[in-house]
Amino acid sequence: MPYQKMYDLIERLSAMGKKVFTVNDASKLTGKKTSYMSLMLSKNKYIDRIERGKYYLKGTDILEVASSVIFPSYLSLFSVFRYYDLTTQIPLKISVISTLRHKKFIINGKVIEFKLLDKNRVFGYLKKDGIFIAEIEKAIIDALYFGEPPYSYVVESFRIARDRQMIDIKKLKHYCIMMHSNALVSRLGFLLESEGIDASDLYKKRSKRYITIPGISSEKNRWLIK
């Protein structure tokens, strides 16, 4: 394929907003066989390979790359706290929530890690600047569910979001209920009441067993957090 045609392919992918793409995508757009396109893509200086059959245009935001490797998937956890400027800490990895298992990989020295959730727990995200990313409420819920990042960072981000009026407490509770996890309800209920927010509407759905939150030492409480 002449270089001009490769340039046309790159321009077309950019115009389509498809900065992360597969060899099959390139094959359909050019009418060329996938084996031929694999060779041409690997030689092009404006294209980088993610893994077998998957590529991205150089200069693409790494967050967009990370959230587009699997569909459906979205950024969450500490990565989202940083994205929304709810923490000054720089995450050591980019966390992606997906319904499919995928091994972690490294792009430009940054680790991209995948967390697995059932499809009925994959919600509460949107596409922003080409990035599939959790809403703040869902990022907090995911963080409490996975126990990552440490609880103190979750509380810090929650406080900042609340002070800036960036968080909807009603939506936060709703997303918690939608996860169908009694342990999660206990964690959120404990967090909210610790911050002076009424969580009585969650109480009946709490866990009946003791739940541990690493990194905290709490006195006896009705959420059975220890």
The pLDDT value recorded for residue 1 is 46
For the chain, the structural domain boundaries read 3-60, 63-205
* Residue ranges, the chain, pLDDT below 50: 1-3
CA distance to 116, 123, 148, 174, per residue, from 96 (Å): 9, 13, 12, 22
Gap between the Cα atoms of 123 and 195, Å rounded: 26
- The CATH classification of domain 3-60, taken from the options 1.10.150, 1.10.3470, 1.10.260, 1.10.10: 1.10.10
Q: What is the DSSP string of 1-70?
A: --HHHHHHHHHHHHHTT--EEEHHHHHHHHT--HHHHHHHHHH-TTEEEEETTEEEETT--HHHHHTTSS
Supply 44's token pair. Answer: 């092009």
Residues 49-103 pLDDT 10s: 999 999 999 999 999 999 999 999 999 999 999 999 999 998 889 999 999 999 9
The pLDDT value recorded for residue 176 is 98
Cβ neighbours for 193, distance < 8 A, ≥ 6 positions apart = 199, 221, 223
Cis peptide leading into residue 149 (ω within 30°): yes
Rounded to 5 degrees, φ, ψ at 117 are -135, 150
The pLDDT value recorded for residue 4 is 53
The pLDDT value recorded for residue 68 is 93
In this structure, which topology does domain 63-205 adopt according to CATH? Beta Polymerase; domain 2 (3.30.460)
The pLDDT value recorded for residue 226 is 83
The pLDDT value recorded for residue 138 is 98
